[in-house]
Amino acid sequence: MERAVAGVRRDAAALPAEAERLTFEADRYAALLREHPQELTIYPLVLDSLEQLYFVSAESDLERLHEQGKEVGRSCLRLNGAWAVMEDLSGGRLTVQALRRLDPSDLPCVRGLLFHWLRWVELRGPTARLDLRAIALLADRAVELASESLTWREHWALAMVSSLDVPSEEARNRAEFHFQAAISLAPGLATLAVDRLAGQVRQDVYSEQTLEGLRQMGAGRYAVHSSAAWSVQNQHALKRAIRLLAQLRDLNMD
């Protein structure tokens, strides 16, 4: 399996365009997973490749992409036999009892599932808010599994749950707390900043500070050169900031 994964990375690196490389990796890892569905190490690779693909995909492809990520994430968790039993007993619903059966080895797949599930809710809008309770339970369990090794991902997931919820003071405050915590752990990742500002718009608290924050995202704070750690993510976030600025200007004009 290590040789197969190394071969995927080698072949992908030979491709000239970023989107082409990411698509190739996602397709090849998915093929490996179909051949070896019981191999736990492949699932995080598939989830991560789909996550990277999100940053270069057309909007028309995103729902399919995130649905695939959700399916892979849930399939990964079912390799945990205790989780699978509890999920079957609940008719496929995510329950507190099932979540207690997860252990730290499941965390990579929990993180991947959270990313795609939250982006799916973001894409679908208010009609998908029914999923937020289950996602919040999963995000809380991710915090417990990470324990003393919390990353920006756990805080980002909790922030997104609140920012996608029905607008309220409690949701706004909780989102702001966790976005700030995530940003402090990954200050060079522009995705966190633009998600925070987009959340302010969803929560109906955008202001001149929101507009200024969007303008400042293009001031060079976030590295976008090809060798930067978050080059693809940052380029995507800056484009989102420009689109969001245009939307807010249209709202103000109306």
Question: How far is the C-alpha of 74 from the C-alpha of 53, rounded, in Å?
Answer: 19
What is the number of other CB atoms lying within 10 angstroms of the CB of residue 242? 14
Contacts for 208-217: CB closer than 8 Å, 24+ residues apart = 210/248, 211/245, 211/248, 214/241, 214/244, 214/245, 214/248, 215/245, 217/190, 217/193, 217/241
- Selection from 158, 184, 181 nearest residue 171 by Cα: 158
In this prediction the pTM is 0.94
pLDDT in tens, the chain (254 residues): 999 999 999 999 999 889 999 999 999 999 999 999 999 999 999 999 999 999 999 999 999 999 999 999 999 999 999 999 999 999 989 999 999 999 999 999 999 999 999 999 999 999 999 999 999 999 999 999 998 889 999 999 999 999 999 999 999 999 999 999 999 999 999 999 999 999 999 998 888 899 999 999 988 889 999 889 899 999 999 999 999 999 888 766 44
Cβ–Cβ < 8 Å for 109, 47: yes
Cβ–Cβ < 8 Å for 12, 25: yes
Question: How far is the C-alpha of 106 from the C-alpha of 103, rounded, in Å?
Answer: 6
Question: How far is the C-alpha of 59 from the C-alpha of 57, rounded, in Å?
Answer: 6
Q: Which domains does the chain have, with CATH numbers?
A: 2-149 (1.25.40.920)
Tokens 């400042």 belong to 216
